[in-house]
Amino acid sequence: MTKRLNVVGIGNAMVDILARCDDAFLAEAGVEKGIMQLIDMDRAVELYGKIGPAREVSGGSAANTIAVIAALGGKTAYVGKVKDDQLGHIFAHDMRAIGGEYETPLAGAEAWGETGRCIVLVTPDGERSMNTYLGVTEFLTPGDVDPAQIADAEWIYLEGYRFDGPDSHAAFAKAIEACHSTNGQVSLTLSDPFCVERHRDAFRKMIQDGVDLLFCNRAELLSMYQTDDFDAALKLCGSEVSILACTDSENGAYVVSGGETIHVPADPVAIVDATGAGDAFAGAFLYGMTHGADLATCGKMGNLAAGSVIAHIGPRPEADLKALFEDNGLI
């Protein structure tokens, strides 16, 4: 039986506020470079008051991933919470405009907080330092997950960041159950080394018990297994999960499955803004998985999409990904 959807993503819904700065600014503003740090509204207002002119684009890690799958023609849905405010409308518009389903109820005017946003500071080296005000997206609950929608998907994609909220654990559990009820498969991204630090035990249990495909990067993998030995971590993790897809910056990606490790090198790309690179990798990889590609090809697709996203400011593809994939003989 063919399912209606290829992938349903669940994660933190937010709008990115992207601005350039130099390293001195990061230091002065107290922003830790290269990671995602959670901030409250007071800090968001303070930091926003210091940064230069910005642009606003819909973001959110899993939402970016879903946007890539949809841009390639995959059938998608997304679950993540925004408020009934202007930023929330922007997020919802962009999510639907890519062609996927997005039906999570808006938090009403009475809800505490606003639509989540991430102040993304991009330094000249292309690195991004993220400052996330979660707002209403923190309050994703099991009620926001529609089991019928999940049951109709080949894969679900869970964003590690969304583990930063107790009700969301229950929402994830509900999604995994609905997914398994129709033999769907579960993918998870570790999101960030500090996110791994916060949720190592929960992630480990999920990897061992319910995850079919794990996405992470080198730093996240090392943090997960608390080691400096990358090869050993790849092997150990590969023994705990059916498929591991681990990115390694300009070195490309490693795909581990059935005791075999495939290295998929990436073509060199000038990094303008690394925001969304990992999200794009996961999206293209999942597109490949749901469209009959072998693992090495999935890895190539992931690298190509990531390379496209880091060549411009902003977390989602701006080039015609389908045409890019065709030009590269991948579809």
Is 152 among the residues that bind a copy of itself (CB under 8 A)?
no
Closer to a copy of itself by Cβ: residue 119 or 284: 119
Instruction: Candidates 46-54, 224-232, 257-265, 297-305: pick the segment binding a copy of itself (CB under 8 A).
Output: 46-54
Task: For residues 53 and 75, give the distance between their C-alpha atoms in angstroms, rounded to a whole number.
Answer: 35
For the segment 299-318, give every residue that binds a copy of itself (CB under 8 A): 313-314, 316, 318
Under the binding rule (CB under 8 A), the answer on residue 108 touching a copy of itself is: no
Question: Which C-beta is closer to a copy of itself: that of 135 or that of 288?
Answer: 135
| Closest to 144 in 3D by CA, of 107, 89, 181 | 107
Binding of residue 86 to a copy of itself (CB under 8 A) = yes
Of 11, 161, 168, 13, nearest in space to 87 by CA: 13
Bridge-based pairing state of the strands 185-189 and 128-133: unpaired
Smallest gap from residue 314 Cβ to a copy of itself (A): 7
CB of 120 to a copy of itself, least distance (A): 13
CA nearest to 217, candidates 261, 242, 252, 243: 252
Q: Quick one: which H or E segment has residue 197?
A: helix 193-209
273 is a site residue for a copy of itself (CB under 8 A):
no
End-to-end CA distance of the chain: give it in Å, rounded: 24
Interface with a copy of itself by CB under 8 A: which range of 31-39, 50-58, 143-151, 257-265?
Answer: 50-58
- Binding span for a copy of itself by CB under 8 A among 32-40, 83-91, 205-213, 224-232: 83-91
Nearest to 236 by CA among 248, 247, 222: 222
Q: Which of 114, 146, 159, 220 binds a copy of itself (CB under 8 A)?
A: 114
Query: Which value, to the nearest 10 degrees, does the dihedral of the CA atoms of residues 293, 296, 298, 301 take?
Result: -120
Can you give the binding site for a copy of itself, defined by CB under 8 A?
48-49, 51-58, 67, 85-87, 90, 93-94, 97-98, 114-115, 313-314, 316, 318
